[in-house]
Structure 1
Amino acid sequence: MTIIARLISTRYNLFNFSKVVQAFRIRNFALYTAGNSLSLIGMWIQRLAVGWLIWELTESGIWLGAIAIAEFIPILLLTPIGGVVADRFDRLRIARIAQVFACLQALSLWALTSYGLITPHILVALTTVAGITNAMNQAARVTLVVNMVPRHLMSTAIALNSIIFNVARIIGPATAGVIIFLTNVSWAFFLNALSYTGLIIVLLIIRMPKVVDSNVKNKSYIVDLKEGIKFTFTHESLAAIIIISATNSLFARPLIDLLPGFAGAVFNAGPSGLAIFTSAMGAGAILASIWLTLRGKLYGLTDIIFFGVAINGITVFIFATCDNFWAAAILLGISGFTQACTGTGTQTLIQSSVDDRLRGRVMSVWLVIGRGGPAFGALIMGMAAEIFGFNLPILVGALISLAGVIIIFPKKNQIAAVLERSNSN
């Protein structure tokens, strides 16, 4: 049976609206989704604004990479601790505290930029603050959504949040581009602060029982951390999926963080071109997220992840050889589709395979790789871009990512048998 035939078969169950309706009938999930939508739009406004501001200040690939690494270092060092915290304490309270800090960071960026006091070093420092906040909050945030819905709606809830994330990826950069063009970059940071305020209000309204490991407080943080890491990497199928995520994150996904350089130096398209590039990736990701939401099944996700990483590697390789702006935008749309498939699919498989008492710690390992990997890769590729230009490092990275999935491909069916059996509905 061909891949296309399989995609329209029962195995991939393209249309299942009932689970979407069920998810939104849950008060906490509906409230959180609404508030999170505003916050994510603000986050993407700020992300593009920070990327463009550092490029405007320095016109340097190394500084673009430095901004990425400012987020990566806290993720690398603190996200595992954040996973332990998410399993020990009330995840809702953790999310509330983190959003307050994120709002204060955005307000600081607004004030410093408005008064002309911002410098590359200050921008990197404040990005580091944002990285610390995200690192301590990410495990709680991704597991909080799963705690809001029953198990049979887990895949749907994760995919719905992926849709929200990727719609924000279009609206946010487009809004940021307009703001930068009509006013100045400082107002992008102010709008982000307002968006965080909306999510803070929603988090204060939400009421849900605490979900913590009743035994975990009797042990040290180090013991808890080791338990989560050991479970992750001694579980053969989980480890294989995470290795695939690692190669994709380190060698193909850094393209996202280097898009300001491609828009500015390779295509000479300015902030409007950067907004188009980022929005194209978001559009592709939205289509993928809608598909994954409507299919609402665990069964078949392993195939989707493997083929998604492979297609993304090929697409990024072609992008690195492309010199036409609109062709490049289309390729980024394809890349966005495949990355949403692999990211959402991987998170769903991992969360469905782990007991809730370990979920924060295991997800923290995935977050270190899935979120920190692109930042580290962007730093290395940004440094290489200073010597070889932006195209060659991305081209080589795409080939390495493709090679990684080819090596593990023979184990695909074995991985699917283990990870998809827990919930085939």
Structure 2
Amino acid sequence: MSITRRRFIRNASLTAAAAAVAPSLFLPGAKGAWGATLSKGKPIKVGVLFSLTGGLAVPEEDSALVMQYAIDEINAAGGINGSPIEPVIIDAKSDMNVYSEKMRELILRHKVISVFGCYTSASRKAVLPTVMSQRNLLFYPTCYEGAECSQNVICTGPLANQHSRDLIPFMVKTFGKKVFFVGSNYVWPKESNKNAKLWLEQAGGELLGEEYIPLGSSEFGPILNKIRAAKPDFIFSTVVGASDIAFHRQFKQEGFSADKMPIASLTTGEIETRAMGNEFGAGHFLSAPYFQALDNPTNHRFVEGFLASKYGKNGTTHYNMEETYTSAYVFKAALEKAIAGHGIEEVTPAMIRAAAAGVRLEDSVSPEGAVWIDENNFNTWLVPKIGQCQADGSFKIVSQAPSQVAPDPFSIYPDAGKCTAEGLKAANGSIRKDVI
């Protein structure tokens, strides 16, 4: 499948727009306009930008909480090069305009050296022009659709080739070929479904329908009527946040059952199940690199420690939380490398990003098992897993890749080029900076 001319035009236009905001590029030795510097023994300020209120708060509040837990853990062990991490925590209020506004505040006013946050691709796209123009760094700790090659983002969650590529054929083989797609109406579900359609075709499946609901909406009656008429073998869901909870509840209330027509999701984990009620999640499926039920010493320590802490008020862990937790340790390892190479007072966000290339978190650090940052595209090598929700809200792992899978942001756009550390490299050797 070839990348479309429209996509090239869109990316070129956005690149020009970002350049108009700030003429300077994100260069390894350049300070941002804010001139932030680090000093030995003084706090290292980082931004934490998640929605603590609104329709996206269900998964995002816990990510903010676990980030604080990880920072406390790192600080208790001596911080980074003797300096404590100081989080600046801001509520994005599930509003894309607020994400954008608060990203500027974090960088320009609070002078953070990196930001951890965002859950939806819509929020990521809202903040990236500021992150790029100010030469800062975003740690994006969740799944996303790919088709990007940004020099200002490190992602610790899975790409489409690391979750739906396994989930679609598993569901077709287990339940049948006929599927109905339901998603929230924004870029991630639509782009994810482009990937899913290709893998559905390869698995010999049949798409019976594809419907989207406004982000935050809770009325699924018309869509469920279409599903009833279509009679699929399973549903593939990219519905997020409060809408996801409403969808599962209405699914069961309308008489549908997971044993006859399960929902296969990329987002419905332990947090969403707890919010909707275990009976509404039981029997459905999730593809993710992490589940609370993972049986290894590091995960046991992580779960027990977090839930016993002041941050564990909601009573569960979750893939997005774990990916946020690991992002804190990627940051720690990368900053330590940057300091060793340049001295703490010379470190810039770009140096942290460069140092993150190849950073590996071993089994003893990462609750999901060993993961590492790809040296070219700065996404994460990880082990895809599929879990089925049980009656108590936990997930039983029913399928797992044999080893870590390489992140491939352009898996269905092979003609787009290759994502390198410098930018998207075309077949003719030219490199384009992707500013979204």
Structure richer in strand, relative to its length? 2
The TM-score with structure 2 as length reference comes to 0.31
The TM-score with structure 1 as length reference comes to 0.32
The higher-RCO structure (CA 8 Å, 6+ apart) is 1
